Chains A and B, each alone.
Chain A
Amino acid sequence: MKFVDEYRDPAAARAAVAQIEALSDGQHLKFMEVCGGHTHTIYKHGIERVLPSNIELIHGPGCPVCVIPMGRVDDGIAVAETPGVIFTSFGDMMRVPGSNGSLLDAKARGADFRMVYSPLDALRIAKENPDRQVVFFAIGFETTAPSTAVTLQKAREAGIDNFSVFCNHVTIVPPLKAILESPDLRLDGFIGPGHVSTVIGNRPYRFVPAQYGKPLVTSGFEPLDILQGIVMLLRQIREGRCEVENQYTRAVRDEGNLRALRIMSEVFEVRPYFEWRGMGFISQSGLKLNEDFAPWDAELRFSVPGVRVADPKACQCGEVLKGVIKPWECKVFGTACTPETPIGTCMVSSEGACAAYYNYGRYNRSATIPVKSA
């Protein structure tokens, strides 16, 4: 496939791995990939298996589904089970467990839940069903927030008032700060999130080297992007530099996407605080609809329990999200908590570290030998 295969070339990968070996020279270094998309790529392409063992990748909090707390899932299900409602969301959210089952269970109980690929699809459903209330369960970082914002603007322009948004958008910088403040974590650098940065640019990360002394390289999502990001981090360390660099220059500009940022600012305002799964309340980390868009705010239109639900005791998603433990170090990983019967959010989304490890990486024996042609 053109423009994809080039970034998966095995010969180029071997060259990058040789560079990583030379630059790291056996030194044990820990880098966190912030974004769940990176985690997915790392496991799907088996990147950990080609890296030298002294380079350790720690999986970060940038998986939109993983950070949704149970109470918000319960609120979503309560809206979904309101008579007359068509509840829409990205497919990833379907299996996330609330305290009384998931949206998939709510669907089996009779809720009209529809999976969409874009909030605009939800708006289309609202147009087609004027006698029904259509609610979009909005999740994600600054990557998906602009598409929700555009959809809301279109709803207002077209006067579609049977549409509303249950907003769970979050921002990337506050949890990064929380991780950097975390006393139990020692990191040597960050592979910065590529998709989020296409929107917010690279400038918001400057505090990472400036205040915390850690290098950050914003990277793309193909396997070679990630290897090159690691090479760039190692070069900084070798050369005694510590700065924000951009590996993903084909998509990310330093200033970000100004139009997307403007649209977001027209629709959203920052919540004083928002709860993160396993990480507790983080101030200034969530977005809600501003006053202009209050008529489209599902939280105001429907009565939701709005109750904070504690994570199940056995679940260690918080420690996984902060990179304090590896997925397999969680007490319930792979036994009580599996993709079929997830306890924690990290086991649900394909971007969750636990699901990625369970589905792709749950095999740690000797490397395999290529299949020879007949």
Chain B
Amino acid sequence: MTEATAPSREEVVLDRIEAFRRRRPRLLEENITSAHGAGGKASAALIDAVFLEAFRNDTLADMADGAVLDLPSGERLAFSTDSFVVKPLRFPGGSIGHLAVHGTVNDVAMMGARPTWMSAAFVIEEGFPVTELKAIVADMAEAAATSGVQVVTGDTKVVNKGAADGLYINTSAVGVVQSTGPNSPGLSPKRVRPGDKVLVSGTIGDHGVAVMLARGDLNLEADIKSDTAPLNGLVEALLTAAPNTRWLRDPTRGGVATVLNELARAAEVHVVLDEAMLPVRGPVNGACEILGIDPIYVANEGKLIAVVPPEEAEAALVAMRALPVGADAALIGEIREDPPGIVLINTGFGGNRIVDMLVGDPLPRIC
């Protein structure tokens, strides 16, 4: 079949749309809406138009979850920050304290670094009970101990009643990048190649659904716990077993779908997933089905997505499954060449569909 066929009218329209989508996102709104905080397209437009515009530099332009900085010693330092506004402050499986440590530890770990030092800043609303604050800080101390980080500096602000919803926490962490040998040229979307495999370290959607149900608005009850956990140990085991790992991300806000869309764009590759291979707990799947949410868009706080070369995929899975935090690790898809920038999923039913970035957030304030 060498005969070239003219593209159909529909294909012409689709190509035009793809070209349109590759344009820089534009910030059109006059006011910030909740969509700007949802991690999807509106967030990208906001970051591009406001923050990147003002602070523009090469490190920031990578738009990773953290920065990798070259030290005079030749070592490289990973640096990341994150704020936590989860509501409610306590949910099955953890609290804002656990999240505040694990979230930032994981961002640093995803850059192949060993998180070591952390800052913690608190914005507290007038009237907040001290016993509750103590309990949350105790959770942070416990999480820091299990993650192997030390909280070495901090800040406290109190705002008027009504000016914050109880408690907000910001944490930052730094750590030295571990993979500096000649065999491990660092983790980057630029290293992702067609044929590489996409792995997830365990079941998806647990955190977002646990928090949503904990709010009690839905009158749904299910035995679902947040997966909040530090991933630095898992990353070290993975990088030892699969030293040519190309790229790592923790699929927090926006879920697996959002981080893979970011990868597809940044690496200019096509990502194909297999719906039947996605590990999702039964109760999570059931709750999502009732709420009309796809677990692939739901936040995780103790999972990572790894892209590894095909010959290291099996070793990577074995290494992850050997740890409790990676017990349900699974192969979920692979990288292809064409069409770039798009994530596609083969449905369990035998069809397929695009997995796009979300517009707006079905589950706001879950971290």
From residue 167 to 219 of chain B, which have CB atoms closer than 8 A to chain A? 197, 217-218
* Given A104-B33, A335-B20, A4 and B13 contact (CB-CB distance below 8 Å): no
Mask, B3-22, CB within 8 Å of A = 1, is: 00000101101101100100
Contact A1 B289 (CB under 8 A): yes
Q: Which residues of A contact B218 (CB under 8 A)?
A: 117
Interface size of B by CB at 8 A reads 55
Contact A109 B353 (CB under 8 A): no
Pick from B33, B197, B292, B331: contact of A107, CB under 8 Å: B33
Check: A223 CB closer than 8 A to any chain B CB.
yes
Q: Which residues of B contact A362 (CB under 8 A)?
A: 14, 17, 354, 356
Cβ distance A156 to chain B, nearest Cβ, rounded Å: 23
* Given A117-B218, A328-B14, A1 and B356 contact (CB-CB distance below 8 Å): no
Check: A334 CB closer than 8 A to any chain B CB.
yes
Check: B92 CB closer than 8 A to any chain A CB.
no
Check: B61 CB closer than 8 A to any chain A CB.
no
**Which residue from chain B places its CB closest to the CB of A373 in the assembled complex?**
B331
Best-buried of B282, B333, B346 by chain A (most CB within 10 Å): B346
Check: A353 CB closer than 8 A to any chain B CB.
no
Contact A374 B314 (CB under 8 A): yes
Cβ distance A15 to chain B, nearest Cβ, rounded Å: 11
Q: Complex Cα distance A116/B350, Å? A: 34
The 9 tightest CB contacts between A and B, nearest first, are A46-B351, A334-B17, A374-B313, A360-B353, A108-B31, A10-B350, A371-B274, A339-B359, A49-B351
From residue 340 to 374 of chain A, which have CB atoms closer than 8 A to chain B? 340-341, 350, 358-365, 367-368, 370-371, 373-374
Contact B31 A328 (CB under 8 A): no
Contact A45 B353 (CB under 8 A): yes
Contact B354 A361 (CB under 8 A): yes
Q: Which residues of A contact B344 (CB under 8 A)?
A: 363, 368
Interface size of A by CB at 8 A reads 51
Chain A residues proximal to chain B, CB less than 8 Å = 1, 4-5, 8-10, 13-14, 43-50, 91, 94-95, 104-105, 107-109, 117, 121, 223, 326, 328-329, 333-335, 339-341, 350, 358-365, 367-368, 370-371, 373-374
**Which residue from chain A places its CB closest to the CB of B19 in the assembled complex?**
A335
Mask, B74-101, CB within 8 Å of A = 1, is: 0000000000000000000000000000
Contact A108 B33 (CB under 8 A): yes
From residue 322 to 365 of chain B, which have CB atoms closer than 8 A to chain A? 331-334, 339, 342, 344, 346-354, 356, 359-360, 362
Chain B residues proximal to chain A, CB less than 8 Å = 8, 10-11, 13-14, 16-17, 20, 28-29, 31-35, 41-42, 45, 197, 217-218, 272-274, 277, 282, 285-286, 289, 291-292, 310, 313-314, 317, 331-334, 339, 342, 344, 346-354, 356, 359-360, 362
Cβ distance A165 to chain B, nearest Cβ, rounded Å: 20
Contact A1 B34 (CB under 8 A): no
Q: Which residues of A contact B314 (CB under 8 A)?
A: 374
Q: Complex Cα distance A360/B10, Å? A: 15
* Given A14-B350, A121-B217, A371 and B342 contact (CB-CB distance below 8 Å): no
Contact A371 B272 (CB under 8 A): yes
**Besides A50-B351, A359-B356, A362-B356, 15 new A-B residue pairs in contact (Cβ under 8 A), listed by A number:** A1-B289, A47-B351, A50-B349, A104-B360, A105-B29, A108-B31, A326-B10, A328-B10, A334-B14, A339-B359, A350-B292, A363-B339, A365-B11, A371-B272, A371-B333
**Which residue from chain B places its CB closest to the CB of A330 in the assembled complex?**
B13
Cβ distance B318 to chain A, nearest Cβ, rounded Å: 10
Contact A10 B349 (CB under 8 A): yes
Q: Which residues of B contact A359 (CB under 8 A)?
A: 354, 356
